[in-house]
Structure 1
Amino acid sequence: MLICHCNIITEKEIEQTIVSLLDEDPWQLIVPAKVYHAMRKRGRCCGCFPNVVETIIRVTENYHARSEVGGVDVVSHLDRVRGLRGQYGSRTHERRTADHRAA
C-alpha cells in the first residue's frame, strides 16, 4: 500500500526501515522524521505522518513481541505512547475545532 504520495513510499518500505532501526537499538524513540531520514527522504506535505506513526507503533509492538524481552515493559511503554497521542493528537486536526467548516 502506498503511504506517502509525495515521495512514493510504500508501507513495506517503511516497515523495513523501522525494523532496521530497531535492530540497531530496540529501545530508541522512532518518529516519522527519523524514518524518513533513514530512507534519505523528506516529508513534504506531511499528511502521511499519522499513518507512519500507526505503522511505527504496530511494527514496534510486533518486533518486541517476537523478541525475548519481557512483555510487561513493552506494553506499559506503548500504552503511555498511545495516551500521549490521544492527548495531543486526536482532539483537533491542524488546530481546527470539530465545527470548523471550509468556505
Structure 2
Amino acid sequence: MLICHCNIITEREIEQTIVGLLDQDPWQLIVPAKVYHAMMKRGRCCGCFPNVVETIIRVTEEYHARSETGATDVVSHLDRVRALRDQFGRKLNERRSTSHRAA
C-alpha cells in the first residue's frame, strides 16, 4: 500500500526501515522523521505521518513480540505512547479533516 504520495513510499519500505532501525537498537525512540531520514527522504506535506506512526507502533509491537524481551515492558511502553497520541495527537491533524487521511 502506498503511504506517502509525495515521495512514493510504500508501507513495505517503511516496515523494512523500521525493522532495520530496531535491529540497531531495539529500545530506541522511532519517529517518522527518523524513518524518513534513514530512507534518505524528507516529509513534504507530512500528511502521511499519522499513518507512519501507526505503522511504527504495529511493527515495533510485532518486533518485540518475536524477540526475547519481557512482554510487560513492551506493553507498558506502547500503552504510554498510545495515551500520549490520544492526548496530544488527535485533536488537529495538520489542520486536515479525517476525510483527507488514508487511515
Q: How high is the TM-score relative to the length of structure 1?
A: 0.90
Show the 5 A alignment for 1:1-103. 1-94=1-94
Which runs of at least 4 in structure 1 moved beyond 6 Å after TM superposition? none
Counterpart-to-counterpart distance in 2, 1:95 and 1:37: 24
Question: What amino acid is aligned across from residue 18 of structure 1 in structure 2?
Answer: I
1:58-102: CA deviation from partner (whole Å, max 9, x where unpaired): 000000000000000000000000000000011233468xxxxxx
Q: Among all aligned residue pairs of Structure 1 and Structure 2, give the percentage whose two residues are the same amino acid.
A: 84
Structure 2: runs of 5+ lacking an equivalent:
97-103
Is the 2:47–2:94 contact (alpha carbons within 8 Å) kept by the matching residues of 1?
no
Is the 2:30–2:56 contact (alpha carbons within 8 Å) kept by the matching residues of 1?
yes
SS in 2 for 1:79: helix
Closer, same or farther: CA 94–43 of 1 in aligned 2, 3 Å? closer
Report the count of equivalent residues: 97
Higher relative contact order (CA 8 A, sep 6+): 2
Larger Rg: 1
SS in 1 for 2:3: strand
SS in 2 for 1:3: strand
Counterpart-to-counterpart distance in 1, 2:9 and 2:84: 27
Counterpart-to-counterpart distance in 2, 1:21 and 1:62: 14
Counterpart-to-counterpart distance in 2, 1:44 and 1:72: 37
Q: How high is the TM-score relative to the length of structure 2?
A: 0.90
Question: What amino acid is aligned across from residue 57 of structure 1 in structure 2?
Answer: I
Structure 1 equivalent of residue 100 of structure 2: none
